[in-house]
Structure 1
Amino acid sequence: MKKQMRILTPLLLGLIVAISVISIRRISDIRDYSKLINYVGIVRGASQRVVKLEMNGHPDDELVGYVEEILNELLTGQGRYGLVLADSEIYRNNLDLLKEQWETVREEIDGVRQGDDSSRLLASSEKLFEIANDTVFSIEQYSMEMAEKTAGMVSVTALVSAAAFAAAVYFYIRKFFQLKVTNERLEGLAYRDELTGAYHMERFYEEVNRIMAQNPDEKFAVLYVDFENFKYVNDVFGYSYGDELLKGYAHFAMSRLRDKELLGRDMADRFVILRRYESRDELLKTQEQVDEEFLNSSLVKSNRHLMTIAGGDLLCGGYGGGG
């Protein structure tokens, strides 16, 4: 997982950066397209004013030049107004038609100035207005499409960022719990007997004191359990078998511990147990049952030898179990 995160993290960051850069450019383009809409609208309105003035005998060459200047910049992307070229075929075609129709209107204006009838100029101006409308609508539509695409890219960026964040959070939470488990395991190795898994005595009594302090209304007893003549087992059956017996008993006893009960290993073949109880008889009977079950298990019976477990309350006396 760590290796995968090392690979995925730069890839995700690179993707986010790339999408962000493209989105910023798109947003900038949309702003420029809004400017195109405004200036095509200016051409539409100014051209109609030019025609109106010409038909009323008030020519305005400066306004004519203003319209031509804007049209040229719309077509070339070069000029003082900062207009850009939009990558829209429909818009470009409409813009070409608008330029052609403007040239027609110019010719009609020259004719009116030479005394021709103005009806043809009026008809040409109406057609110019329609083309200008189409041009405005085409750049508006293109701008809206770009805005939708940009919104989609921003959404993708957000999703990718959220996915990257979730992956990072998952990775670090998983790492945290892995470290926690490792620390608990290492702590267990430090506080528990390597052979049996029971608590070392120092840790056992620390836990005993903690449990009893937290549960002052409950009754607890510390019992000891001792395998009698365990040296005989080691001598006759070998130390490996002796170790198996100790491990087996520890596992057996711990599997039968209740809440707030503990098992510790005092030395060699001696264990101590913290138990909750209501009466001393019930306490000793419970422990006798556990010991009897172990002595009757296949691990003990496999070598067909007698074994005795002695034990008792550290304060109140003892009991014995044989097998």
Structure 2
Amino acid sequence: MDAHSILIMNWRDTHNPDAGGAEVYLHEMARRWVQWGHEVSLITAQFAGAPREETVDGVRVVRTGDRYSVYRSARRTYLERFRKQCDVVLDSINTKPFATPRYVNERASIHALIYQLAREYWFYETPLPVALVGRYVLEEHWLNQYAEVATTTISASTRDDLVRLGFRNVEVIHAGVSTKPLKSLPAKEDVPTLIFVGRLKKAKLPHHALESFRIVRSRLPQARLWIVLRKDPRGAEGRSDEARPCPLVSGSTGRLGTLGNRGERRRDARDRVRRARAQGRHRRRANRESRGIRGHGGDGQRVGAPPPE
């Protein structure tokens, strides 16, 4: 296999405090490309305290601009530093693309990575009338230029969405599971226990989890809900590693806490999933995440439909 120079453009890297599953998926592929002998670079946004450049698992990370200006800065960085050396440019699209078809030269092949369409997320993350413009004008306008670009997504449902937008070459590569299934399942909690794992932001639908729990509590007063958060180093999600009472639901005696470093978070979250009886997730990611949940002993899954538009 010939070695190639691969350039990735993504708005965040795995060290960014706002990094999520998309960054993990991308990094897991990138580090494997390095292991296979390819040269991999990532252009991404700068954040407080981060070096301008560093190497992570063999991947050269170049940080430029902020979460809003990274798209413009990435173009400039490509033209100044990578234009003459890249064989492949991977445009990782999280709502707003890097518009690589407009400036990447013929020397490099362009590939797009799209996890899902934003659609109703506009209404969770932006105010009216911006949400209306984004949902019905901007997103489709941005993606039109990729109709002929080789595109990868993580689910058949997103592939179908892209085909309806006119995409002609879409391949599905499912997200892998990096942990081994348990050989035996630990005992569940003595009382009905639900768990929500994720950031407390509107797009993650924590209010759906709370409303579901409210219904459960009306029938099973002894039930409890765990909300497991990643500890945000900026202090946005918890100021202490200690669990503390959280009156999220009237009469609730639930606990709200944060987890420590990445390894501790994974171990603690997995342990809680094993002990809980139901776990909720919404939209496309639910199907791929359920594989990992079942592998760790989770025996419940709520897959919610997107809200009406």
Q: TM-score range, shorter-chain basis? A: under 0.3
- The structure with the larger Rg is 1
Larger strand share, 1 or 2: 2
Q: TM-score, normalised by structure 2?
A: 0.16
Greater RCO, CA 8 A, separation 6+: 1
TM-score by structure 1 length? 0.15
